[in-house]
Amino acid sequence: MSDNLRPVLRPRFNRLDARFRRQRRGRYVAGCLAIAIFVFVSIGPLKTPLKNRGSAHRAAAQALAQSQTGPVPLATVSGMALTLVLPAAKKDITSIGYHQAYNVRALSLIAKTASIGQATTQAVAAAVRSGDKPAFVMTARGRGSALDSAVDIVLKAGTVVKSPVTGQVLEVVPYLLYGRINDVRVEIIADGYPAFKVAVVHIDKPTVTAGQKVEAGVTPLATVRPLGISSQIDQYLGEAVTHVHIQVNPIETKPSASHVD
């Protein structure tokens, strides 16, 4: 380039160079802005599903916790869809023993809890020693009723006993166990089963009255009481224990017997 042209063209080159730099800078800024918009548009909508998913997990966990702490099935009544639930928290129960009811018309109970069937005292003792909380069927007592027509649920004395069914209290009756031991019996008519009553005995300080509505696994009925005598289940556990006794009887027109165990 001629030296004479340099002073003339240099300003033009400088202006072109400045314009190119501005264009490059503009493209760079525009590119960064486009990337930012893309990221915002792409990730923004993801936040809601993730948040919703977290809420769903929390709801599921809460539902699971509630199901784990809710009423636990104990047994179904033979020949019907009626289910009895545990009358206390599972952690408070030592063992569950099914046996012959005094009333020969008492209905069989089909265990929903894990059971080792008709058991020997040795088998039950071994299960207890291993830390299990066995459910088992005790040997016949010569009563003529089914082997699983009543159930004893071992609890510490003073434990609150809750209703095993949803329904209405028929009566709360003090009576003499074996004709000589003071005891209390709460009888409940389960919803949908008006011809039967669920009897809960070996209790004290009842907190319900006749005609009251009760909810399975929720409504307190009374507390467990020590009987002061040896029961059949004591022989299986190797010690004197307190327990609540439950059975299901047809409603009879004649006065109920004073012996329910």
pTM over 0.85: no
Q: Which of these, 139, 157, 156, lies nearest to 236 by C-alpha position?
A: 139
With residue 151 as reference, give the H or E element that holds it: strand 150-154
Q: From CA 172, how far away is CA 207, in angstroms rounded?
A: 10
The residue ranking higher by pLDDT, 244 or 113, is 244
* Strand order across the 203-204 sheet: 160-162, 220-224, 203-204
| Average pLDDT for 127-150 | 87
pLDDT at position 253 is 55
**DSSP letters for 190-202:** ETT-TTEEEEEES
Q: From CA 133, how far away is CA 66, in angstroms rounded?
A: 22
- Kindly state the tokens that stand for 128: 């207890």
pLDDT at position 55 is 45
- Kindly state the tokens that stand for 136: 């088992």
Residue 251 neighbours by CB under 8 Å, 6+ apart? 170, 189, 194, 195, 196, 197
For residue 113, pLDDT over 80 is answered with no
pLDDT at position 49 is 44
For residue 48, pLDDT over 50 is answered with no
pLDDT at position 252 is 81
The residue ranking higher by pLDDT, 178 or 128, is 178
Question: Class for domain 73-250, per CATH?
Answer: mainly beta
Percent of the chain with pLDDT over 90: 51
pLDDT at position 238 is 86
Q: Outline where DSSP puts E strands in 40-95.
A: 73-77, 83-85
The amino acid at residue 107 is L
No. of helices (H) and no. of strands (E), the chain: 3, 15
What number of other Cβ atoms are within 10 A of residue 31's Cβ? 10
For residue 57, pLDDT over 90 is answered with no
- Lowest mean pLDDT segment, chosen from 31-40, 96-105, 131-140, 181-190: 31-40
pLDDT at position 23 is 61
| Average pLDDT for 150-166 | 96
pLDDT at position 58 is 42
Whose tokens are 């509630």? That residue is 66
Q: pLDDT tens across 169-221, in order?
A: 999 999 999 888 999 999 999 999 999 999 999 999 999 999 999 999 999 99
